[in-house]
Amino acid sequence: MMRQYELVERVTSYAPDADEALLNRAYVYAMKAHGSQTRASGDPYFSHPLEVAAVLTDLKLDDATIVAALLHDTIEDTETTREEIDRLFGPEIGELVDGLTKIKKLDLVSKKAEQAENLRKFMLAISKDVRVLLVKLADRLHNMRTLDYVPERKRKRIAEETMDIYAPLAGRMGIQWMRDELEELSFRQLNHQAYEMISSRLGMMRTVNQKAIDEIEEALGGQLAERGIEATVMGREKRAYSIWRKMERKSVSFEQLSDIIGFRVIVGSIEDCYRTLGIIHTTWRSVPGRYKDYISNPKQNDYRSLHTTVIGPRHRRVELQIRTREMHDIAEYGIAAHALYKDSGVNGAGRGAGNGDGRKAIESGAYRWLRRVVEMVSEGNTPEEFLEHTKLELFHDQVFCFTPKGRLIALPRGANAIDFAYAVHTDIGNTAIGCKVNGRLEPLISELHNGDEVEILVSRAQTPSAAWESIAVTGKARSAIRRATRAASRQQYAGLGRQIVSRAFERAGKPYSDERLAAVLPRLAQPSVEDALAAIGRGDLPSRDVLKALYPDYKEERQQRSAPSRKEEGWFGIRRAMGLKFRDPAGADGGKDAIPIRGIRGDLPVRFAKSGGAVPGDRIVGILTPGEGITIYPIHSPELKTFDDYPERWLDVRWDIDEENPERFPAQILVRAINEPGTLAQIAQVIGENGANIENIQMIGRTPDFHEMTIELEVWDLKHLNTIISLLKATKVVSSVTRING
């Protein structure tokens, strides 16, 4: 266990102005507070916060963060209170410890819904002070190092959470060495057999690998020295998890891997990086497609380097990363390294860095990403959506694309033009109708590649399709699409609700206005007029309830319903029995009071009955379905009997066809045809040649001589449908054709 003076020396080695007295007080206080507590390993419990603090000294964090690490379990596991921490160590450290305590209380190892909600709280907590995240990552690292002492039933769950959440978070914060170790430790628990197999193979090859490393380091170092470039060349053997991931991704065996060794070349300047690259490529043959420039196009976590792969000495494939010392520190220590080169860091060389309290935002890609994730929390997504989107953001490689004006847009690999549009601006995504990729028109679902120049074509009349949500890759795009489709749906329902309530008030002979409705919103349990109208449109709030709320003395006058005669059976009889004015649903009388129906792409949330559909020319009735809007039925549909006891859900509707933008409508037919080869082809030919569209065919009966099928069609109107039926009846292979519900 590290001694008190050793911890102080570690901090002062990189922060000479650190508060040694503060560090000493925290060490003694934490040791006494934890007293005789022990860990699962049998070690004194105090060894854990001490090891966490040691990890953070490797990141060269400020003394306040080191003290918070020493104290991070005191409020949770001892008699210590927040007030006592504030009094003894100051409110800054008190808040850090309190933030870590709240995070510790969150059980991320739980079922998905609970984990999602806890992850939201976790991200909110760490966003207030990024040092909380750094302490938490160090805490998790030490726990993973000692995971073998944890009961076996818990190990896998903890390892999965580490692989899913903490390792990617470390990577997103740019702390690559910590991510590598967390992944390696998790991999050992989650797939122990694979871990042992790869580790064993690496052990057998280690002597050979070391000779190759020494040979390449000498050859490469010599080449650079001859050209006057001072460089440090470091070879390393890849970790077991990195090798396993490559084997899985490329579907190759261990023996087929040729790049188990990687090299880093550290030089003095950016100019030397590119000079070094030129020397390497003129000395050894480069592998096509393996060069990446992360200096001119940094990753979102501020990682910068030149990557290349060459065929080196003895025809070995060699991976190289070329970077400056500053780039190397940021690559290894990520967000914790910024204070070494900026005055706005949270870690600093002692307490003098930045403003000393860790709240000054680090203007790095890693911190900007963290703020964006927190914005997703505040935008009201469900916990499950947040978990999904956060994991999408955590796990991805990047592609870099450009706007026509040269703005760089970084996207996850596999992203498409929809993701690009929303990355530029939410309004651009919501109004996108197409795109040009490198000057060529492409569909919005086109996958983008490094270096693509993308121009998004927009129209103010456009709204995003709900289907885009399943196509988009980024969490930002999915969230924006979901919000836009919800808003559009709400607007549709509100428009429908306004028509329903206006007609209800007209029939009752009572005046209606939004101002009157606003006055009774509390009685209707609705927050706004728009919400009330949308609830009416969805069928969740009956229009008669609104009438009664505005006019408590109003009594609905309706004739008692009597059983209809056989002649009056169906929709006509029901309407007459309800005492409502008869109107020809086909619109023969003009239908001034009826709601106009334009089709499934109109401004109202309309759908058509699954059995039979409806087409212009049919007499129709609308049924208000709670949560779904209007369902359109032909008046002869037997399904309407289901709604006999719900007269408040019946709506007067009429066709309102846009002649300039014709639209097909759904219908179903039952066809009985001869069972012989080519029958289906002849039927499809008749339908296709006459301008109808087949949506679905289902065989429902078959005999040696005949078979029956239902065909779902899309036709322009009733005349078009009848023409199709007549032509099918005239076909030799067809025995009979009837319209379903016709």
Please list the active-site residues.
Answer: 76-77
- Backbone φ and ψ for 4, nearest 5 degrees, come out as -60, -50
- Closest to 138 measured CA to CA, from 239, 259, 57, 199: 57
CA distance 118 to 22: 33
CA distance 473 to 477: 7
Query: Any idea which residue has 């993308």 for tokens?
Result: 454
Tell me the pairing of strands 398-402 and 408-412: antiparallel
DSSP state letter for 565:
P
Contact 192, 348 (CB under 8 A): no
Sheet with 620-625: strands ordered across: 606-608, 629-634, 620-625, 650-651
- Closest to 58 measured CA to CA, from 113, 134, 118: 134
Contact 61, 347 (CB under 8 A): yes
CA distance 437 to 450: 12
- Closest to 90 measured CA to CA, from 62, 72, 67, 61: 67
- Give residue 299's region: left, alpha or beta (phi > 0; psi -120 to 50): beta
Contact 191, 350 (CB under 8 A): no
CA 122 to chain centroid: 17
Tokens linked to 731 = 């076909």
DSSP state letter for 663:
-
- Closest to 381 measured CA to CA, from 107, 105, 119, 106: 119
Q: CA 490 → CA 86, 132, 485, 502, 535, distances in Å?
A: 49, 40, 8, 18, 9
- Backbone φ and ψ for 426, nearest 5 degrees, come out as -60, -40
Contact 538, 626 (CB under 8 A): yes
What is the number of other CB atoms lying within 10 angstroms of the CB of residue 204?
10
Q: CA 179 → CA 135, 319, 338, 543, 689, distances in Å?
A: 14, 20, 18, 58, 62
CA distance 344 to 342: 5
DSSP three-state, residue 226: helix
Contacts of 323 (CB under 8 A, 6+ apart): 264, 265, 266, 267, 273, 295, 304, 305, 306, 331
Contacts of 555 (CB under 8 A, 6+ apart): none
**Identity of the residue numbered 592:** K
Contact 483, 527 (CB under 8 A): no
CA distance 301 to 362: 12
Contact 220, 265 (CB under 8 A): yes
Tokens linked to 576 = 């007459």
> Hey, CA dihedral for 141, 144, 149, 152, is it positive or negative?
positive
CA distance 302 to 340: 14
Alpha-carbon Rg for the chain, nearest whole angstrom, is 35
**Identity of the residue numbered 72:** H
CA distance 718 to 724: 10
Query: Any idea which residue has 């060389």 for tokens?
Result: 349
- Backbone φ and ψ for 620, nearest 5 degrees, come out as -130, 160
Tokens linked to 385 = 């959506």
DSSP three-state, residue 558: coil
